[in-house]
Structure 1
Amino acid sequence: MDSTDDASWQKLAAAKREAILDSIPAKWRLANIPTVDEQRNVTGAYIEQFLSPKEVEITQADSVGIVEKTTSGAWSAVEVAEAFCHRASLGHQLVNCLHEAFFDAALADAKELDAWYAEHGKPKGPLHGLPVSLKDQFHVRGVDTTMGYVGWIDSFQGQKGDPRSKTFESEMVRELRALGAVLYCKTAVPTTLMCGETVNNIIGYTWNPTNRHLSCGGSSGGEGALIALGGSPGGFGTDIGGSIRIPSAFNGLFGLRPTSGRLPYEGMANSMDGQNSVLSVVGPLASSAGGVKLLTKSILSAEPWLHDPLVAEIPWRADLEAQTKDRIASSQLNVGFLDHDGAVAPHPPLKRALSLLRDVVARSGNKAFDWQPPASSHEAVTALLIKTWNYDGGADVRKDFALSGEPWAPPLLDVWKERPPADGAGIAETNRALRARRKEYLDYWNGTGGGDVFVAPCAPFAAARPGRFDYIGYTSFVNGLDLPSVVVPVTTVDKGVDVVDAGYRPVSELDKKIQSDLKSTDDPEIYDGAPVSLQIVGRRYQEEKLLAIAEWLEGELKKASVS
Structure 2
Amino acid sequence: MPVELTWQELALGKKLAVLELIPLEWRLPQPIPTAKSQKDVTGAYVQQYLEDWEIEITESDAVRIVEQTSSGNWTVTKVVTAFCHRAALAHQLTNCLHEIFFDQAIADAKLLDEKFASGAGPVGPLYGLPVSFKDQFHVHGVETTMGYVGWIDTFEGIKGTGKEKTTESELVREIRLLGGVPFCKTSLPHTVMSMETWNHIVGSTLNPHNRLMSTGGSSGGEGALIAMRGSPIGFGTDIGGSIRIPAAFNGLFGIRPSFGRLPYVGAANSMPGQNTIPSVCGPLAPTARSIKLMMQAALTQEPWLHDPAVVEMPWREELAKLSTDQKLTFGLYSSDGDVNPLPPVKRAMEKMKALILEMGHEIIEWNPPSHARAYKLAFEAFTSDGGIDIHHHIGLSGETLQPRIEEFYGKKAVPAKTVDALHRINLDVAAYRKEYMDYWNSTSALTKTGKPVDAILAPVAPFPALEFGKSAIVAYTPWVNTLDYTAVVVPVTTTDSTIDKFETEYTPLNDSDRIVWEEYDPEASNGTPVAVQLVGRRLQEEKMIALAELFESALASK
TM-score by length of 1: 0.96
How far the C-alpha of 1:504 sits from its partner, in A, is 2.8
Residues in 1 aligned to 2:316 and 2:19: alpha-carbon distance in whole angstroms? 43
Where in structure 2 are the equivalents of 1:189-228 lying within 5 Å?
189-228=188-227
Residues in 2 aligned to 1:138 and 1:296: alpha-carbon distance in whole angstroms? 17
Aligned residue for 2:99, secondary structure, equals strand
Match of 1:344 in 2: 339
Match of 1:389 in 2: 382
Residues in 2 aligned to 1:74 and 1:440: alpha-carbon distance in whole angstroms? 54
Equivalent residue letter for 1:187: T
Match of 2:18 in 1: 20
Residues in 1 aligned to 2:397 and 2:3: alpha-carbon distance in whole angstroms? 9
Match of 2:550 in 1: 552
- Note if contact 2:36-2:212 (Cα within 8 Å) is conserved in structure 1: no
Deviations 1:326-381 (A, max 9, x none): 1xx1141111111111111000111111111111111111112221213xx10011
Residues in 1 aligned to 2:141 and 2:272: alpha-carbon distance in whole angstroms? 23
Deviations 1:80-106 (A, max 9, x none): 000000000000000100000000000
1:125 aligns with 2:120: no
Equivalent residue letter for 2:382: W
Deviations 1:170-217 (A, max 9, x none): 000110000000110000000000000000001111010000010000
Equivalent residue letter for 1:302: Q
- Note if contact 2:36-2:211 (Cα within 8 Å) is conserved in structure 1: no
Residues in 1 aligned to 2:331 and 2:503: alpha-carbon distance in whole angstroms? 24
How far the C-alpha of 1:501 sits from its partner, in A, is 3.0
How far the C-alpha of 1:38 sits from its partner, in A, is 2.1
Residues in 2 aligned to 1:291 and 1:285: alpha-carbon distance in whole angstroms? 9
- Note if contact 1:482-1:540 (Cα within 8 Å) is conserved in structure 2: yes
Match of 2:537 in 1: 539
- Note if contact 2:388-2:414 (Cα within 8 Å) is conserved in structure 1: no
Q: Which runs of 5+ in 1 are unaligned?
A: none
How far the C-alpha of 1:468 sits from its partner, in A, is 2.4
How far the C-alpha of 1:115 sits from its partner, in A, is 1.3
Residues in 2 aligned to 1:508 and 1:305: alpha-carbon distance in whole angstroms? 47
With over 3 angstroms needed to count, the CA separation of the structure-2 counterparts of 1:544 and 1:5, relative to structure 1, is: farther
- Note if contact 1:81-1:106 (Cα within 8 Å) is conserved in structure 2: yes
Aligned residue for 1:439, secondary structure, equals helix
- Note if contact 1:484-1:539 (Cα within 8 Å) is conserved in structure 2: yes
How far the C-alpha of 1:289 sits from its partner, in A, is 0.3
How far the C-alpha of 1:166 sits from its partner, in A, is 2.1
Match of 2:478 in 1: 476
- Note if contact 1:196-1:469 (Cα within 8 Å) is conserved in structure 2: no
Identical aligned pairs, as a percentage? 51
Name whichever of 356-365 and 484-493 sits farther off: 356-365
How far the C-alpha of 1:509 sits from its partner, in A, is 1.1
Aligned residue for 1:473, secondary structure, equals coil
Deviations 1:229-277 (A, max 9, x none): 0100110000000000000000000000000000000000000010110
- Note if contact 1:149-1:200 (Cα within 8 Å) is conserved in structure 2: yes
How far the C-alpha of 1:5 sits from its partner, in A, is 6.6
Aligned residue for 1:354, secondary structure, equals helix
1:87 aligns with 2:86: yes
Match of 1:439 in 2: 434
Match of 1:530 in 2: 528
Where in structure 2 are the equivalents of 1:53-452 lying within 5 Å?
53-322=52-321, 325-326=322-323, 329-374=324-369, 377-417=370-410, 418-449=413-444, 450-452=452-454
Residues in 2 aligned to 1:535 and 1:271: alpha-carbon distance in whole angstroms? 25
- Note if contact 1:484-1:541 (Cα within 8 Å) is conserved in structure 2: yes
With over 3 angstroms needed to count, the CA separation of the structure-2 counterparts of 1:469 and 1:128, relative to structure 1, is: farther
With over 3 angstroms needed to count, the CA separation of the structure-2 counterparts of 1:16 and 1:331, relative to structure 1, is: same
Residues in 2 aligned to 1:36 and 1:281: alpha-carbon distance in whole angstroms? 32
How far the C-alpha of 1:545 sits from its partner, in A, is 0.2
Equivalent residue letter for 1:451: V
Aligned residue for 1:362, secondary structure, equals helix
Match of 1:11 in 2: 9
Residues in 2 aligned to 1:557 and 1:544: alpha-carbon distance in whole angstroms? 20
**Runs of 4+ deviating beyond 4 Å:** none
Name whichever of 205-214 and 401-410 sits farther off: 401-410
Deviations 1:408-452 (A, max 9, x none): 111111111243210110001001111111111111111112200
How far the C-alpha of 1:502 sits from its partner, in A, is 3.4
Residues in 1 aligned to 2:16 and 2:211: alpha-carbon distance in whole angstroms? 22
Match of 2:447 in 1: none
The total of aligned residue pairs comes to 548
Aligned residue for 1:123, secondary structure, equals coil
Residues in 2 aligned to 1:66 and 1:269: alpha-carbon distance in whole angstroms? 30
TM-score by length of 2: 0.97
- Note if contact 2:255-2:487 (Cα within 8 Å) is conserved in structure 1: yes
Name whichever of 504-513 and 485-494 sits farther off: 504-513
Aligned residue for 1:238, secondary structure, equals strand
Name whichever of 453-462 and 417-426 sits farther off: 417-426
1:462 aligns with 2:464: yes
Residues in 2 aligned to 1:438 and 1:499: alpha-carbon distance in whole angstroms? 38
How far the C-alpha of 1:527 sits from its partner, in A, is 0.4
Q: Which runs of 5+ in 2 are unaligned?
A: 445-451
Match of 2:495 in 1: 493
- Note if contact 2:471-2:515 (Cα within 8 Å) is conserved in structure 1: no
Equivalent residue letter for 1:17: K
Aligned residue for 2:443, secondary structure, equals coil
Equivalent residue letter for 1:438: R
Residues in 2 aligned to 1:371 and 1:437: alpha-carbon distance in whole angstroms? 16
Residues in 1 aligned to 2:121 and 2:363: alpha-carbon distance in whole angstroms? 45
Residues in 1 aligned to 2:382 and 2:191: alpha-carbon distance in whole angstroms? 11
- Note if contact 1:411-1:467 (Cα within 8 Å) is conserved in structure 2: no
With over 3 angstroms needed to count, the CA separation of the structure-2 counterparts of 1:5 and 1:271, relative to structure 1, is: farther
Residues in 2 aligned to 1:546 and 1:482: alpha-carbon distance in whole angstroms? 14
